[in-house]
Structure formats: C-alpha cells, structure tokens
Chain A
C-alpha cells in the first residue's frame, strides 16, 4: 500500500511519544518549523503505560507557551493512532498540513530572514 502524505512533513522517529519533551518541540519552532505534530499510540495502548498521556500534557504546555510568545498554539497538535493505520496517518498528516497552510509560516522564520 503506497500512501501519500505531504512532502513538507519531516518525520522524527522516537521510541515512544513519552520521549518527546517540551524543549524538543520548542527547539523545532525556534529552528523555524511551521508546525509540530506528535503522533502517539491510542490512549490506553502505550507500551510504557502512560507515555502518550504525558506527551499530550506536554503538547498542551507547548501550546500555551507558543501562544504566549506570539507563535500561536495551534501550530502544535497531538494525534493518536494504532500501528497498522497507515491511511489514518496519512489523513492526520494532511490535516496538520492544511492547518499549517492556513496559519501561514512560523513568524519567527520570517523575522530571522529579515534580520539576516
């Protein structure tokens, strides 16, 4: 099965979404990412019990911080799916892509360019 998802998305593999920390997401934005999407296992199915719940809480924290600093909390989002769900993955990927296209580029990327 060959599924297409937007080429703009760069995948970073982690053993568990519980490994994704606030600082990782913030760094991505600092470096110019327009959005970050964390995709974890279905709630209740985490191999490490609560990794995906933690990830969700951290995503919420990042949303708050991004809103505060003027980048916009909507640029980060968490989804859950199970391993065999390729089509759903593609759907989520398209969805976040559309959200980001609507929001436009990360404002600090532009500012960095202006400064350079």
Chain B
C-alpha cells in the first residue's frame, strides 16, 4: 500500500488561514490502514482546527467527510454538489488523491494533509517500512524476492557494498542490509550460486527517470 504520515497541524493551519469554510476529506484506503488519513484522523484534525479557530475568535466552519477512495472518479463525484461551498479542502489522501481532487475541482484550493512516504507494508501496528519504488521493471525474480532498488540505500544491483556489517546497512545500524537479506534468502532457497550472476545495467526508463508513467490496458478499456 501507499504509506503516508501525518503532517504537523501547524503546517495545515498555515495553509487554511483566512478560510471560513473548510472540508477535511479523508480516504478509506491505504491512508486509513496506515492511520494517517482515515475517518479517525479526519476527526482529530477537524477537531484541532475547530479549536484553533475558535480560540482565535474566528468563526470557521469545518466539515468532515471520508470517501471510499480519492483516486477514482466515481468516489470523488460524491462531493460534486458541495465542493464549491468550501474555501479550502484539506485532503488526507496520498499525493495521488490530493492531485486527483485538484484536477476535478478547479475552483477550490486543495491542500495536502499528509506526507506521502513510500510503498510499503505494515510490519507491526505503528511500523511501516518501504518495499518497492515502482521501478516499472520488477527484478525480484533474480534477487530472491527482496528488492535492492527500494531496500538498498545505494540501489546497488550487485551488492553488498563494503559497508555492510553484521547484517546491517552502512547508513544505519538498525536498518537491514538488503543484500544480506538477499543472500540469506538465496541460501534458504538453495540458490546461492545465483549470487555470482552479474546483474546487468538496468533500464531505468521505466522508472521515475523516464518521466511521468502510464499504464495503458486496451483489453480492459471500455
């Protein structure tokens, strides 16, 4: 899923200064799971904003809505009739949702309420870690199912570097060295000899480097 983290309330207050009617808009998908932008977080942010403006002696109306998703037309349509009534919409969806909102509702400023961080997994409640950088050309088949692109601090495709020590990465002794994990996994699979295959120079054109990407699937288009 897409993992996001809450933005400081101070920052959001800055964005919405001067607004009289604000919508705090959550999303029921990834950001709900990572507890950054679901219904609950919408409630907390809205409450904080209400108290802030009340305390400033300003009469600001703050509404709360949480959509099923903010990255699909259908769900965004649900606020079609009300969107224009607001001076600002604070979207707690990931960066995709915020942008899709902004594309749809031109006349209302949309502000991000979370920092979108990475594609990751819930290791345990309250701990999410990165697993993929959407390079567009998945190479997990040759690395024992562990991704050096997202999990090696230097994206080394023929690792580990000389800084790997005790299974940890040179940049942080609490961070697993991706290449240690790859080697352990290849060993467990009885495929350690695969380690000596040289990984050739990667085509990064399917990565961010190639410019904004697109997936077109004519077979499913209507």
Interface residues of A (CB under 8 A from B): 21-23, 26-27, 29-30, 65-66, 68-71, 107-108, 111-112, 114-115
**A68 and B55 form a contact (CB under 8 A):** no
Tell me whether A23 and B47 are in contact (CB under 8 A). yes
Q: Which of A23, A69, A115 contacts B52 (CB 8 A)?
A: A69
Q: Say yes or no for B168: interface residue by CB 8 A criterion.
A: no
Instruction: In the A-B complex, list the 5 residue pairs whose CB atoms are closest, starting with the nearest.
Output: A69-B52, A26-B47, A108-B54, A70-B55, A23-B43
CB neighbours (8 Å) of A30 from chain B are 47, 50-51
Question: Among residues 106 to 156 in chain B, which have CB atoms less than 8 Å away from a CB atom of chain A?
Answer: none
How far apart sit A22 and B9, CA to CA, in the bound complex (Å)? Answer: 14
Nearest Cβ on chain A to B54's Cβ, whole angstroms: 4
Looking at the complex, which one of B8, B40, B44, B52 makes contact with A70 (CB distance below 8 Å)? B52
- Summarize B's interface: helix, strand, loop or mixed: helix
Q: Contacts A21-B40, A23-B40, A23-B43 given; indicate if A68 touches B48 (C-beta within 8 A).
A: yes
Does B81 belong to the interface (CB within 8 Å)?
A: no
**A27: nearest chain-B partner, CB-CB:** B47
A-B contact pairs, 24 of them (CB 8 A): A23-B44, A23-B47, A26-B47, A27-B47, A30-B47, A30-B50, A65-B48, A66-B51, A68-B8, A68-B10, A68-B13, A68-B52, A69-B13, A69-B48, A69-B49, A69-B51, A69-B55, A70-B55, A71-B51, A107-B55, A108-B55, A111-B55, A111-B57, A114-B57
Residue of A nearest to B42 (CB): A23
CB neighbours (8 Å) of A65 from chain B are: 9, 44, 48
Minimum C-beta distance from B215 to chain A (A): 38
User: A68 to chain B: which residues have CB within 8 Å?
Assistant: 8-10, 13, 48, 52
B-side residues, CB < 8 A to A, are 8-10, 13, 40, 43-44, 47-52, 54-57, 59
Chain A contacts for B48, CB-based, 8 A: 26, 65, 68-69
CA distance A114 to B59 in the complex (A): 11
A27, A111, A114 interface centre (most CB from chain B within 10 Å): A111
Within 8 Å CB of A107, what residues of B? Answer: 55
Additional A-B contacts beyond A26-B51, A70-B55 (4; CB < 8 A): A23-B43, A26-B44, A29-B51, A70-B52
In the complex where A68-B52, A69-B51, A108-B54 touch, is A115 in contact with B44 (Cβ < 8 A)? no
CB neighbours of A66 from chain B (8 A): 51
A23 and B44 CA atoms in complex are apart in Å by: 5
Q: Which residues of B contact A23 (CB under 8 A)?
A: 40, 43-44, 47
A108, B51: Cβ atoms closer than 8 Å: yes
Inter-chain contact A71/B44, CB cutoff 8 Å: no
- Bound form: Cα–Cα A28–B47 in Å: 10
With CB as the reference atom, state the residue of chain A lying closest to B53.
A69
Considering the complex, give the chain A residue whose CB is closest to the CB of B56. Answer: A70
Q: Which of B13, B50, B54 has the largest count of A CB atoms less than 10 A from its CB?
A: B54
Residue of B nearest to A22 (CB): B44
Contacts of A21 in B (CB 8 A): 40
Contact across chains for A71 and B55 when beta carbons are under 8 A apart: yes
